[in-house]
Amino acid sequence: MAKAKQAVIDQEFLNAALEGIELQRRRIIEQIQQVKSLLGEK
Protein backbone atom coordinates (compact mmCIF):
# COMPACT_ATOMS: atom_id res chain seq x y z
CA MET A 1 0.00 0.00 0.00
CA ALA A 2 2.87 2.38 0.77
CA LYS A 3 4.22 2.04 -2.76
CA ALA A 4 0.86 3.00 -4.27
CA LYS A 5 0.65 6.05 -2.02
CA GLN A 6 4.21 7.02 -2.94
CA ALA A 7 3.39 6.65 -6.63
CA VAL A 8 0.45 9.06 -6.22
CA ILE A 9 2.66 11.56 -4.39
CA ASP A 10 5.34 11.23 -7.08
CA GLN A 11 2.72 11.78 -9.79
CA GLU A 12 1.37 14.88 -8.02
CA PHE A 13 4.89 16.22 -7.56
CA LEU A 14 5.74 15.66 -11.22
CA ASN A 15 2.50 17.30 -12.35
CA ALA A 16 3.22 20.34 -10.18
CA ALA A 17 6.78 20.50 -11.50
CA LEU A 18 5.56 20.28 -15.08
CA GLU A 19 3.04 23.05 -14.48
CA GLY A 20 5.79 25.28 -13.09
CA ILE A 21 8.11 24.57 -16.00
CA GLU A 22 5.35 25.31 -18.52
CA LEU A 23 4.69 28.65 -16.79
CA GLN A 24 8.38 29.50 -17.04
CA ARG A 25 8.34 28.51 -20.70
CA ARG A 26 5.44 30.86 -21.43
CA ARG A 27 7.23 33.71 -19.67
CA ILE A 28 10.41 33.05 -21.64
CA ILE A 29 8.48 32.99 -24.93
CA GLU A 30 6.92 36.34 -24.02
CA GLN A 31 10.34 37.78 -23.23
CA ILE A 32 11.75 36.50 -26.53
CA GLN A 33 8.87 38.14 -28.37
CA GLN A 34 9.53 41.42 -26.57
CA VAL A 35 13.21 41.37 -27.51
CA LYS A 36 12.40 40.46 -31.11
CA SER A 37 9.96 43.36 -31.20
CA LEU A 38 12.67 45.71 -30.00
CA LEU A 39 14.93 44.37 -32.76
CA GLY A 40 12.21 44.97 -35.34
CA GLU A 41 11.54 41.31 -35.97
CA LYS A 42 8.17 39.61 -36.03
pLDDT at 7: 82
pTM above 0.85, yes or no: no
Rg (Cα) of the chain, in Å, rounded? 18
Q: What is the pLDDT of residues 1-42, one digit of tens each?
A: 567 778 888 999 999 999 999 999 999 999 999 999 999 986
- Between CA 34 and CA 2, with CA 17 as vertex, the angle to 5 degrees is 175
- Between CA 36 and CA 42, with CA 40 as vertex, the angle to 5 degrees is 60
